[in-house]
A and B are shown apart, each in its own frame.
Chain A
Amino acid sequence: MWEGQLLCVKNLTVHYGGYLALSEVSLEVGQGKIVCVMGANGSGKSTLLNAVSGLIESSGEIVFDGRSLQGVPTHERLALGLAHVLERRRLFPFMTVSENLLLGAYLPSRRSERARSLAWVESLFPVLRERRRQLAHSLSGGEQQQVAIARALMGNPRFLMLDEPFLGLSPKMVKEISEVIRSIHRDGVTILFNEQSVLHSLELSDRGYILESGRVALSGASTELLADPRLHNIYMGLATA
């Protein structure tokens, strides 16, 4: 049942602040695939990613590469190969780009390959070379997004989760980042990302899930979803699958 699935989430439920954010959500990400999670705000898509990386508590099963993540503290998950780029970039604001990247390879096992990782991410994002000494909070939104993804890649993850990587970016930047995503995918990284824009997500991914008020409203291969005429009504929660 887990074969081929790098990440398997079953009946995930999240309560926090007296609020039911996710309710019995199940999701699978196959090895080497790109999967997108779509939904309006409040649908729970960020919560889903946060639960997988352990930032918030959840009940239900989260199985990564055949082992359960329940009880594994967040800071141990990167070592297993799971990386997570948070919504709104979240760089260390008062550290330079270079320092941010170095911290991406903080784990002892990654430190030895730091130089190689740095070379790799700088080839993906050429702008990083020029901005090495700049403080992170002074970068533009697009540049910050690039640094955030680069930082996550410094940890050589097998599985990368991106929370709204395209939020607030110019169309040109969206294209660039989409290209990077495709590129790292070709390099063998499995990707799970969140987005509001349905069309763009489905073009970029192999498989998609639509969340609505904390539950899965629709899921399937991206090509099939694109062809579904009820797609946007289901997305806006005005109809059910």
Chain B
Amino acid sequence: MRIEERRIAIVLGLSVALLFALFPPAARALLSDHAYWIQIYIWILFFAMCATAWNIIGGFAGQYSFGHAAFLGIGAYTSTLLYLNLGISPWLGMIAGGIVAALAGAVISYPCFRLRGAFFSLATIAFAEMLRVGGELTDSVFGILINGARGLVIPPVGDNLSALQFRDKESYAYVIYGLLLLTLAVAFAVKHSRLGYYLAAIGDDEDAVKSLGTDTARVKLVALLVSAFFTALAGSFYAQSVLFITPTRTVSLDLSVQMVIMAVLGGLGSVFGPLLGAIILVPVGELTRAALGGSTIQGAHLIVYGALLMLVVRFVPRGIEGPVRQGCCRLVGLIAHALHGPAPLRPAAVNAPIMQLPEGRGALGLRAAAAGGAQPLSLSNVTLSFGGAVGVKQVTIEVRPGEVVGLIGPNGSGKTTIFNLVTGFLAPQSGSIHFAGRSIVGLPPHRINLLGIARTFQIVRPFISMTVTENVMVAALPRCATLSTARTEAQRCLAFVGLSHRLDTIADGLSTGERKRLELARSLATRPRLLLMDEVMGGLDQRSLPGMVELVRRIRLEGISLLIIEHNLKVITDVAERLVMLHLGEKIQDGPPIDVVSNPTVIDIYVGGTAALR
């Protein structure tokens, strides 16, 4: 977007925010039943806040919690109990509630995050239900009265700012407005921080993120803490506005589900999506309730919610935020056109040649990292067996600094197992693995990456919902102080592999060759001293092969050691200084390519018996 468009967008955004803020007083002035409308307004903002907070862990990271109302309850009860028993102002109690909720989140996160997908969701439901039922059964805890299912009542004290109570609804509206703005700001900050990049990538492929140097468990934990904190704030607000809380009203599966529905409808993974979801769903719910016979039926609006959830999942799985955003962009463009005239034509994206490599050695400047006494990778008598099948048996391999070693052998010979052992996804049962002078057995994948080992995967795994640049940024961020340095680093790596013309393309839309190069750029951004390449030539057509071979050579010129798994013997014999051959988990050859490839035993294994023909 050009500068004028950006300014217009900001002005529009601020206007919308201002309109929102002015709604309560406008309603009071213009509508006779303003109390009713302001109450709806409050509910919209309340749910928007809950859903936005939920989205930080749910939409951003793809962990669908169905128990978030537990944090609502914790917030409500903490601030209420502090107020009733110690006279502490709910403004402070709110923050205390947030902290307690965050702690609760931390406690359940360790066990829960080990579960995936639906199991994670089921576990969150179980935890929330345990809390709810437990709350109903408990009358007092350590002498503090909780009143179980009968609940707690906050005595009304009229207009009292420090006690967060007001006679008229407008003031409550201002409070929730402020809280929502705060939550949106935090969500925005998270999304555009390094945390946001990690979360989005985790949602796509958590293992790949780990192998790029990020402790994903910690990332998810931080997201959950933030999410829990703000959900609890909303819970305290709720308590103050209705002045009566029970376990079932606060820790309700219905509320948890509604948060999820609003986020899904609005757009998971976007900052303003949940707000959109709330703006649509709350009034729709109200209308339904009114049309279908008053407030005697609790769940009339839920009928519509259920139907809408089904429709959204089926037809608009990414939520309505996308189309809405496009509409807004178009609007901004129109306004800009009207005010400033047509936009200057952008130069057509040049159809860049396949290779665009800068000349000279050490173009990436990684030499400094690679040199400097880097010690070899050495596996020594490593053994690992899988149940009945042997993975690797007494394998000893060494890769010296700056060396290019090829790893060959038939399927099932243990090559990928070696990679998984070196990168920490598997642990050996015996033997040792040393790198940079220390043992790396038992280290988690992200730590091994930080030590200087990077890896590409045979079936490439880009983060499909992120752009090319963002993909590489995820790899660069652990080592860069700011987002902009990470971006620059990412662009340099992408230039090195020849993808400068695809910087803003979503990874999903790349061709095979481009994906392979993206994978390499990502690995290079982690500043490796040793790069494990798994079948980089696989799946490339004849035209792309020479380019990839050239790229491998350039990487080698950076001083990075290479261990390459490759089926294409012609290519690997050209590129590698040494070949190591595995067969049925054991090393059977280790030497210069020419010797290995013409060895009768090797030929026999590959070809099967033609040696006998000669």
A interface residues with partner B (beta carbon < 8 Å)? 15, 17-21, 23, 40-43, 195-200, 213-215, 226, 231-232, 235-238
**Min CB distance, A139 to chain B, in Å?**
13
Q: Which of B511, B568, B607 meets A235, CB within 8 Å?
A: B607
A51 to B573, CA, bound (A): 31
Nearest 7 CB-CB pairs, A to B?
A197-B608, A199-B609, A19-B539, A42-B567, A41-B411, A232-B610, A20-B539
Tell yes or no: B541 within 8 A of A by CB. yes
Chain B neighbourhood of A197, CB < 8 A = 607-609
A200 to B462, CA, bound (A): 41
A214 vs B567: C-alpha distance when bound (angstroms): 12
Decide if B609 touches A20 in the complex (CB within 8 Å): no
Asked if B410 is at the interface of the complex by the 8 Å CB criterion, the answer is yes
- Considering residues B540, B542, B568, B611, which has the most beta carbons from chain A within 10 angstroms of its beta carbon? B568
A20 to B548 CA separation, bound complex (whole angstroms): 14
- State the Cβ distance, A222 to closest chain B Cβ, in Å: 13
B568, A199: Cβ atoms under 8 Å?
A: no
Interface size classification for chain B: 20 to 34
Residues of A within 8 A of B538 (CB): 19, 42, 213
Given A42-B567, A213-B568, A237-B568, CB of A15 within 8 Å of CB of B512: yes
Q: A18-B539, A19-B539, A238-B570 are in contact. Are A232 and B512 (CB under 8 A)?
A: no
B403 within 8 A of A: no
CB of B324 within 8 Å of the partner chain? no
Chain B residues with Cβ under 8 A from A237's Cβ?
568-570
Separation of A53 and B497 alpha carbons in the complex (Å): 38
Known: A18-B512, A20-B541. A236 touches B609 (CB 8 A): no
A-B contact pairs, 27 of them (CB 8 A): A18-B459, A18-B460, A18-B512, A18-B539, A19-B538, A23-B541, A40-B569, A40-B606, A41-B567, A42-B538, A42-B568, A43-B567, A196-B606, A197-B608, A197-B609, A198-B607, A198-B610, A199-B607, A199-B609, A213-B537, A214-B539, A232-B603, A232-B607, A232-B610, A235-B607, A238-B569, A238-B570
Chain B residues with Cβ below 8 Å from A238 are 569-570, 573, 597
B597 touches A236 (CB 8 A): yes
User: B206: shortest Cβ distance to chain A, in Å?
Assistant: 18
Which A-chain residue is minimally distant from B606 (CB atoms)? A236
For B460, list chain A residues within 8 Å (CB): 17-19
Complex Cα gap A15–B541 (Å) = 11
Across the interface, do B569 and A199 meet the contact criterion of CB distance under 8 Å? no
Min CB distance B38 to A, Å, is 53
User: CA–CA, A19 to B611, complex, Å?
Assistant: 33
Binding site for A on B (CB under 8 A): 410-411, 459-460, 462, 510-512, 515, 535, 537-542, 567-570, 573, 597, 603, 606-613
- 8 Å CB contact of A199 from B462, B540, B541, B608: B608
Return B440 CB to nearest CB of chain A, in Å: 28
Evaluate contact between A18 and B610: CB separation under 8 angstroms: no
Min CB distance, B599 to chain A, in Å?
12
Residue from A40, A200, A213, A214 within 8 A of B609 (CB atoms): A200
Residues from chain A with Cβ under 8 Å of B459 in the complex: 17-19
B570 near A199: Cβ-Cβ < 8 Å: no
- B541 — which chain A residues lie within 8 A by C-beta? 20, 23
Cβ-defined contact, B540 with A40, below 8 A: no
Contacts of B609 in A (CB 8 A): 197-200
The answer to whether A198 and B512 touch (CB under 8 A), given A23-B541, A237-B569, is no
Whole-angstrom distance between the Cβ of B604 and the nearest chain A Cβ? 9
A40-B410, A196-B410, A238-B573 given as contacts; is B606 within 8 A of A18 (CB)?
Answer: no
Whole-angstrom distance between the Cβ of B109 and the nearest chain A Cβ: 32
Residues on B with beta carbons closer than 8 Å to the beta carbon of A15? 512
- Are B613 and A236 in contact, CB atoms less than 8 angstroms apart? no
With both chains docked as a complex, state the minimum distance between the C-beta of A171 and any C-beta of chain B, in angstroms.
12
CB-CB under 8 A from B608, the residues of chain A are 195-200
Beyond contacts A40-B606, A236-B569: 7 other A-B pairs, Cβ-Cβ < 8 A, are: A18-B539, A19-B460, A20-B541, A40-B569, A232-B613, A237-B568, A238-B573
Report the bound CA distance from A196 to B604 in whole Å: 10
B459 nearest in chain A by CB position: A17
Kindly name the residue among B511, B515, B567 whose own CB sees the greatest number of chain A CB atoms within 10 A.
Answer: B567
Question: Nearest Cβ distance between residue A105 and chain B, in whole angstroms?
Answer: 32
Q: Is the CB of B613 within 8 A of A21?
A: no
Bound Cα distance A214, B610 (Å)? 22
Could you tell me the distance in whole angstroms from the C-beta of A38 to the nearest C-beta in chain B? 9
- Please give me the residue from chain A that is nearest to B411 by CB atom: A41
| A23 partner residues in chain B, CB cutoff 8 A | 541-542
CB nearest to A196 among chain B residues: B608
Residues of B contacting A195 in the complex (Cβ-Cβ under 8 angstroms): 608
Q: Which of B542, B570, B603 has the largest number of chain A CB atoms within 10 A?
A: B570
Interfacial chain B residues near A42, Cβ < 8 Å: 535, 538, 567-568
Contacts of A215 in B (CB 8 A): 542
Contact status of A21 and B539, CB under 8 A, knowing A231-B613, A238-B597: yes
CB distance from A178 to the nearest CB of B (A): 14
Closest Cβ–Cβ distance, residue A16 to chain B (whole Å)? 9
Contact B510 A18 (CB under 8 A): yes
Q: How far is the CA of A235 from the CA of B542 in the complex (A)?
A: 17
Q: Is the CB of B567 within 8 A of A231?
A: no
